[in-house]
Amino acid sequence: HGDFSQKIDYVFKIVLIGDSAVGKSQLLARFSRNDFSLDSKATIGVEFQTKTIVIDHKNVKAQIWDTAGQERYRAVTSAYYRGAVGAMLVYDITVRQSFDHIARWLEELRGHADNNIVIMLIGNKSDLDSQREVSTEDAKEFAEREGLFFMETSALEATNVEPAFVTILTEIYRTVS
Ligand code: GDP
Ligand code: MG
């Protein structure tokens, strides 16, 4: 765009984790490309997507890693977590099991990641409220107990997706600046 040259002040690696089919890849597609697909196949090949936003007059590049379907085989490796300064722990509000598994994902995350990683709990598919199996209150309580940020999102309707990423990036920025 003209002579606007974008100097990147920070690059923050964020990892997406959570059970298969909770909407991790669609959250990433929505945030990075404002895109959504209802029949998204297991992510193939793509390791991460980037998006640059401005925080406090600084250009902050988010490098957001997606699991490429490995969560099915519990083969998310330590390389995936290496260097991550943020993590989004995603469950599906219509699948109780995906929320019950969050404790396990959190344990794995805390075992692999840096101590001061910023963690955000995300209840995705808020558009499917009539099929809800996880109350907002339960999730909020869990997040408070574990010291996590929390938001419900809909990648389909683009509800809270940008605010969720901006919140985690702003919190990361605060911890490093
Ligand atoms: P992943 O395995 O966690 O990466 O999940 P995907 O992003 O591939 O999504 C799994 C399925 O859920 C796909 O059919 C998506 O279209 C659908 N999906 C993802 N996000 C939403 C959402 O916010 N609302 C609804 N209704 N469906 C969603
Ligand atoms: Mg995926």
Which residue type occupies 91? Y
Distance 124 CA to ligand 1 centre (A): 8
What is the rounded distance in angstroms from the CA atom of residue 92 to the CA atom of residue 136? 12
Ligand 1, CB within 6 Å, residue ranges: 20-26, 37-40, 43, 124-125, 127-128, 154-156
Decide: helix, strand or coil at residue 38.
Answer: coil
Residue nearest to atom 9 of ligand 1 (CA): 23
Angle between helices 161-176 and 24-33 (to 10 degrees): 80
| Mean pLDDT of the 150-177 span | 97
Average confidence score pLDDT of the chain: 90
Please report which confidence band the pLDDT of residue 158 belongs to, taking 50, 70 and 90 as the band edges: very high
Query: What sign does the dihedral 76-29-97-151 (CA atoms) show?
Result: positive
Q: Are 130 and 152 in contact (CB under 8 A)?
A: no
Q: Which numbered ligand comes closest to the C-alpha of 132?
A: 1
- Using CB atoms within 10 Å of the CB of residue 34, give its burial: 0 to 12 exposed, 13 to 18 middle, 19+ buried: exposed
Residues 6+ apart with CB under 8 A from 154: 124, 125, 126, 127, 160, 161
Looking at residue 148, its pLDDT comes to 98
Please, what is the Cα angle at 105 between 113 and 28, to 5 degrees?
Answer: 80
The ligand whose atoms approach the alpha carbon of 46 most closely is: 2
Query: Among residues 15, 8, 6, which one has the least CA distance to residue 168?
Result: 15
- What is the distance in A from the centroid of ligand 2 to the CA of 67? 6
Side chain identity, residue 77: T
Looking at residue 41, what DSSP letter applies? P
Residues 125-151: what's their mean pLDDT?
A: 98
pTM attached to this predicted model: 0.93
pLDDT for the residue numbered 122: 98
Rounded to an integer, the average pLDDT of 111-125 is: 95
> What does the pLDDT read at residue 5?
66
| CA-based nearest residue to 23, from 86, 79, 114, 90 | 90
What is the three-class DSSP state of 127?
helix
144 C-alpha vs ligand 2 centroid, how far in Å? 27
C-alpha separations of 32 from 1, 5, 77 in Å: 19, 20, 24
Report helix, strand and coil shares of the chain as percent, to nearest 5. 40, 25, 35
